């Protein structure tokens, strides 16, 4: 999704079926909720997944990482696909892939089957999420209506993590851990049915896919994470650990070189020349790493050591998520007062 293409597509009501903007927004918001929710909904079910599929504690981290790494690595490529191929078409493709992967994951009988499904979920989410945001600009005319739509989208994105923790607890305790994946199927099918009826296709734009950039960045980050995970069990001097870090360094260096030479890079490196933007990236990366790491270990601790039920474990995270939501709201007020450094 490029800035120029968004500006071109901003025609008031150009892609909206008259009389049904609420349904269109509900479809877009439901997609975003499903994608964000899946980053946390499996967390509460991790002890049950570990027992059912006989995951080691180290390998269990991949149930979360397989999704988040794939999602993050392919997110920009998904946005570019929407520009070139049409946003509704790409949106539908992402939703169908995500739904199919959720069904496969729910039926998993072996660890590798669940991890493969989580990778496919990440791919589907990376395809659907950026196009859902772009569809707001082509579905709602500029002004209060579009601002309200963006507000709903932001609220869903911010609250999805908390909803995922609570929903994961309820589904795991009342039904089965597999339902943290199966729950996506009816939602995804409903979105796939309604999207063609209430969301019109956007204009297509010429461009190229930076496949090499997407592959090297995603593979490099995956190997980097694998190196850290393996080091926890085998130590920092383990040959495979060292090899993983070395391969990650080579791939990430290749990514930088590819982006420098690409005519349409997936990640324009000039963005990092802006001090405020680079600082924001570092802060967000640190925050996400700390939060996901905390969620993973606290979920195992409160259920395996303290004996919490899945619902109690989900509720235990409420104070954290409430404070995060409040902090996000307050930051909007602080920004105009303090602002970034000039």
Tell me: do 241 and 93 sit in the same domain: no
Same domain for 96 and 35, yes or no, is yes
Query: What pTM was computed for the model?
Result: 0.77
pLDDT at 340: 64
Rounded Cα gap, residues 193 and 37, in angstroms: 21
Full residue range of the structural domain in which residue 189 is found: 16-207
Instruction: Say if residue 121 is in the same domain as residue 243.
Output: no
C-alpha 196/C-alpha 179 separation (Å) is 27
Q: Is residue 245 part of a domain?
A: yes
Please state, in angstroms and rounded to a whole number, the distance separating the CA atoms of residues 268 and 266: 6
Residue 326 in domain: no
In a domain, 293, yes or no: no
Residue 271: inside a domain: no
Per-residue pLDDT of the chain (342 residues; tens, 9 = 90+): 444 444 344 443 444 445 477 888 888 888 888 888 887 788 888 889 999 998 887 788 888 888 888 887 787 788 788 778 888 888 899 999 999 999 999 999 999 999 999 999 999 998 988 888 778 877 777 777 777 787 777 777 767 777 788 888 889 889 999 999 999 999 999 999 998 888 776 666 666 777 888 888 888 888 888 888 788 777 888 888 899 899 999 998 998 898 888 887 777 777 777 777 777 778 777 877 777 777 777 888 888 888 888 888 888 877 877 777 677 667 666 766 776 666
Instruction: Give me the residue label for tokens 């964000």.
Output: 36
Residue whose C-alpha is closest to residue 258's, from 270, 266, 248: 266
84 within 8 A of 206, measured Cβ to Cβ? yes
Reported residue count of the chain is 342
Q: Do 214 and 77 contact (CB within 8 A), yes or no?
A: yes
DSSP 101-170: HHHHHHT--SHHHHHHHHHHHHHHHHHHHHHHHHHHHHHS-TTHHHHHHHHHHHHHHHHHHHHHHHHHHH
Q: Is residue 80 part of a domain?
A: yes
What DSSP designation does 10 have? -
Counted domains in the chain: 2
């Amino acid at each position: 999704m490029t800035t120029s293409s968004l500006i071109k597509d901003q025609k008031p009501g150009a892609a909206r079926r008259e009389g049904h903007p609420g349904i269109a927004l509900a479809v877009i918001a439901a997609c975003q909720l499903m994608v964000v929710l899946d980053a946390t909904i499996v967390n509460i079910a991790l002890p049950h997944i570990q027992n059912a599929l006989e995951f080691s504690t180290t390998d269990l981290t991949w149930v979360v990482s397989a999704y988040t790494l794939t999602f993050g690595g392919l997110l920009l490529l998904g946005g570019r696909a929407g520009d070139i191929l049409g946003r509704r078409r790409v949106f539908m493709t992402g939703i169908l892939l995500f739904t199919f992967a959720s069904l496969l994951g729910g039926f998993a009988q072996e660890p590798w089957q669940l991890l493969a499904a989580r990778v496919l979920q990440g791919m589907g989410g990376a395809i659907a999420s950026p196009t859902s945001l772009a569809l707001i600009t082509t579905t709602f005319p500029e002004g209060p209506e579009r601002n309200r739509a963006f507000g709903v989208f932001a609220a869903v994105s911010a609250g999805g993590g908390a909803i995922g923790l609570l929903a994961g607890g309820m589904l795991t305790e009342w039904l089965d851990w597999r339902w943290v994946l199966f729950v996506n199927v009816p939602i995804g099918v409903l979105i796939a049915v309604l999207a063609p009826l209430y969301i019109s296709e956007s204009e297509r734009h010429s461009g190229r896919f930076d496949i090499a950039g997407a592959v090297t960045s995603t593979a490099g980050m995956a190997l980097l994470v694998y190196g850290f995970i393996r080091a926890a069990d085998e130590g920092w001097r383990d040959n495979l650990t060292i090899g993983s870090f070395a391969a990650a360094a080579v791939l990430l260096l290749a990514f930088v070189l590819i982006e420098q030479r690409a005519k349409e890079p997936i990640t324009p490196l000039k963005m990092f020349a802006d001090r405020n933007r680079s600082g924001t990236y570092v802060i967000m990366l640190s925050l996400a790493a700390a939060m996901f790491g905390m969620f993973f270990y606290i979920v195992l601790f409160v259920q395996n050591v303290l004996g919490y039920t899945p619902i109690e474990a989900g509720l235990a995270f409420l104070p954290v998520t409430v404070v995060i939501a409040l902090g996000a709201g307050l930051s909007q007020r602080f920004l105009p007062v303090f602002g970034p450094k000039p």
